Amino acid sequence: MFLPGKFLNSHEKKEQAIMNHIMKMTAKYNLDNISRTEAYFRFYKKHPEIRWAFLASMVSRNAGWNMCDLEGSCFPKLIGKKLRDMLYITYERANWLIFQDAFPQLLLYHYSTKINRPMFHLLKIFRVSAFMEQEWYSFWKNRNEKRLMISLIINEQNVIQEPVMEHEIYKNKVFQTLLFSFQDYLHFSSVIFPTCKGELYGASVNGFRSVSKRIDLGKRLAEILFDTSYYGDVYEFASGTIHTGSRHDYEKYFKGRQRRTTPFLRCTYPIITHHIHHFNDWSSKKRIKSKWASESIVLKHPVHITTWYLHKQKQLNTAAKLGKLIRLLC
């Protein structure tokens, strides 16, 4: 993932070599949800001061679980193939866009630390917002880890707002459907942090289409993840559990024998080729709201959600059985 030190000794063409390497590594790891999730976590282990990388890895795990839910034991009985495929593309597109934007930032920071000089002026080459260029320089100077994490949350949610959340195809075929209105029920807006002890922590949001609400969710998730009461157990899970996309990754830690009910991602979905057709710096058109940048975070709901999750799974199984029965009767 990282260039050997010998490539950084010569000042000649150093920046070009680094840029070429970053482009190559971004393309390599932006292959699918599995590779993205692993790349984020590998980076975090190298640079634990960049908290967002761990948060991104755990949220990306959730995206993979959501993808594989669509071909599991329940959802095919509730949702037609066409809509399931559209939902998968929606998850995959957002997952890809965020990585394509964020991973060059992470690698550029890494090489800045290696040569002991900030190279954030190169972020423009990777089409990163002016907002983040400013925030990386601020972090380099002030080392405010929480501010940088929140800034990355703000940035990435704005990165996907126009090309995914407001895109006509996704808006009409996914976000404005009756099905998406039941997002809490179907786990679309819930993010889970599992542990090897079989306990789950996390949070959810209503109004997932709102960038402000997604930013608020990201900040609440970060508050949970880096709380010393939960961090160690979640980190243990992330370190010791290979990400497959199946919810069995964490359900296997529940008490009692658990049957795998969702498939492995790489056995289910092909590699999707993505492109960015138009680039717009979102920060040139939007004002950064004070509530977005606020470091004051309030957790209004319980973060221990094991019982809630098991209840939701029972509801989902019941709905799937009813859906199958209705199809048989019709």
Quick check: 223 pLDDT over 90?
A: yes
**In terms of residue numbers, what domain contains 75?**
5-269+280-329
Q: Please, which pLDDT band fits residue 200 given cuts at 50, 70 and 90?
A: very high
275-284 pLDDT tens trace: 987 888 999 9
Q: How confident is the model over 5-18, as a mean pLDDT?
A: 70
95-146 pLDDT tens trace: 999 999 999 999 999 999 999 999 999 999 999 999 999 999 999 999 999 9
Quick check: is 162 in a domain? yes
pLDDT at 317: 86
Quick check: 12 pLDDT over 60?
A: no
pLDDT at 221: 97
CA dist 8 and 110 (Å) reads: 12
> What is the DSSP-derived secondary structure letter of residue 166?
T
30-59 pLDDT tens trace: 999 999 999 999 999 999 999 999 999 999
Q: Please, which pLDDT band fits residue 330 given cuts at 50, 70 and 90?
A: very low
How many domains does the chain contain in total?
Answer: 1
Quick check: is 179 in a domain? yes
Quick check: is 274 in a domain? no
Quick check: 188 pLDDT over 60?
A: no
Quick check: 5 pLDDT over 70?
A: no
Tokens 């996390």 belong to 202
Quick check: is 96 in a domain? yes
- For 6, 158, 170, 171, 176, the CA distances from 163, given in Å and listed in that order, are 40, 10, 9, 10, 16
Quick check: is 21 in a domain? yes
- For 8, 24, 122, the CA distances from 116, given in Å and listed in that order, are 11, 23, 15
* Cβ proximity of 212 and 292 under 8 Å: yes
| Token representation of residue 254 | 């529940």
